[in-house]
Chain A
Amino acid sequence: MVERFFSTRQMEDRSHSHSHPIMLLSGPPSSGKTSLLFQYAYNSATQTSFSHQNVLFICNRRNLESNPPFLSQDVDPSSDTFQHIQMKYVEDDEGIKRYFAAFHLHNTLPSTIIIDDFGDFFDERSCQERYGNSRGRELAMVRTLALCHNAIIHANETRPCKLLLSDTHRGDSLRLLFIYKRWVSTIFTIKGDGSGSFILKSNSSSESKRTAKYTIALHYLCLEGITEDCEQ
């Protein structure tokens, strides 16, 4: 499934949306997460097994404009595919909650929803004030993830619908992984390889593990190779 993040031959997506609809991409700062998400959005929008493959990309506008993503070299920025990717700019976690609270009101739903830098939407101070609790930020994330999960599972009753989140980890892993794991079935993790490239791995045990090596050093998202991970 790591192939979904790159401009490479896409295999039929056999992942079961209805049972594993929420995924997380976790990586250190400046590791190309937004670029990977954009490529994932592009690949999802071009899938032709259903007539409409609309993608919703939720992010903070300022962050996106100050750190725009890098496309793969063979992706044409003027491609019609981008017509099927809708941008939604939100300021905070309340904006995300409002969207998923009203999810069932939409006549047409996107097939894929992407939220870039999910954790960044939860401001420590305002969450603490809202819940009157020093762990307010964690409380807020729990509630929002549960709401997202409920929305996505409900949507999957009628048609496939996936949610892909990204978050930044400092050090080896995401501090709040214990929260994400409650609602996220597949976690993709990025690690630097020490020489300017990154390795992307999935934690999924349901398929053969492939890892992808890529770089964004040349201001393009450049896949260097995909290898089978033989370790069990």
Chain B
Amino acid sequence: MGPCRLVADTVWKEIESTHSGQPSGRSIFQVVGESKRKEEYFCFPEHFCACYSFFYDIVSKGEQLCCKHQLAARLAASLRSCIEVEVSDEELAFLLSKL
């Protein structure tokens, strides 16, 4: 599967959601991986993903600009095709502390 198709599939078939805290508006993306285990990865689209590929390929080796989850999250955000989950600022703080 070529990278574009991979990304398109990730955007349209998988569940992406963005958790945004109210009333601060601070947010984080949650992207579901495409493996059978359906791992969920927290992601700041511009600069971070919790998946191992981000750590090994992007940060450590510097081989790629971003991982597929970051790309999917950015596409989902610009296409407004992700589910926005509003949480309280306190809940968001708890989520972020578990990063």
A residues touching B (Cβ–Cβ < 8 Å)? 97-98, 100-105, 135, 138-139, 142-143, 146-147, 149-151, 154, 157, 178-179, 182-183
Contact in complex: B48, A101 (CB < 8 Å): no
* A97-B99, A142-B55, A146-B48 given; 4 more Cβ-contact pairs under 8 Å: A100-B96, A146-B44, A179-B59, A182-B47
B57 to chain A, nearest CB (A): 13
Query: Which residues does chain B contribute within 8 Å of A182, judged by CB atoms?
Result: 47, 59
Contact indicator B59/A150 (Cβ below 8 Å): no
A104 x B26 contact (CB < 8 A): yes
Are B47 and A147 interface neighbours, CB within 8 A?
A: no
Instruction: Assess the B60–A178 pair: CB atoms within 8 A.
Output: yes
In the bound complex, residues from chain A placing their C-beta under 8 Å from that of B94 are 101
Chain A residues lying within 8 Å of B55, measured Cβ to Cβ, are 135, 138-139, 142
Dominant secondary structure of chain A at its interface with chain B: helix
Cα A13 to Cα B25 in complex, Å, equals 28
- A106 vs chain B, min Cβ distance (A): 10
A150 touches B93 (CB 8 A): no
A100 to B92, CA, bound (A): 11
Contact A98 B99 (CB under 8 A): no
11 of the cross-chain contacts (CB-CB < 8 Å) are A101-B97, A101-B99, A102-B96, A105-B24, A138-B60, A143-B99, A146-B47, A147-B96, A154-B24, A178-B62, A179-B59
Which residues of chain B from 43 to 99 have any CB-CB distance to chain A below 8 Å in the complex?
44, 47-48, 50, 55, 59-60, 62, 89-90, 92-97, 99
By the criterion CB–CB under 8 Å, are A142 and B24 in contact?
no
Instruction: Say yes or no: is B11 at the interface (Cβ < 8 Å to chain A).
Output: no
Is A178 in contact with B47, judged by CB distance below 8 angstroms?
no
Closest chain A residue, CB of each to CB of B50: A143
Residues of B within 8 A of A103 (CB): 26
Cβ of B33 within 8 Å of any chain A Cβ, yes or no, is no
Q: Are B97 and A98 in contact (CB under 8 A)?
A: yes
- A101 near B60 with CB under 8 A, answer no
From B24, B47, B59, B60, A149 is in contact (CB under 8 Å) with B47
On chain B, the residues within 8 Å of A157 by CB distance are: 25
Q: How long is the Cα–Cα vector from A100 to B26 in the complex, in angstroms? A: 12
Report Cα–Cα, A183/B44, bound state, in Å.
12
Kindly state the separation between the CA atoms of A93 and B23 in the bound complex, as whole angstroms: 27
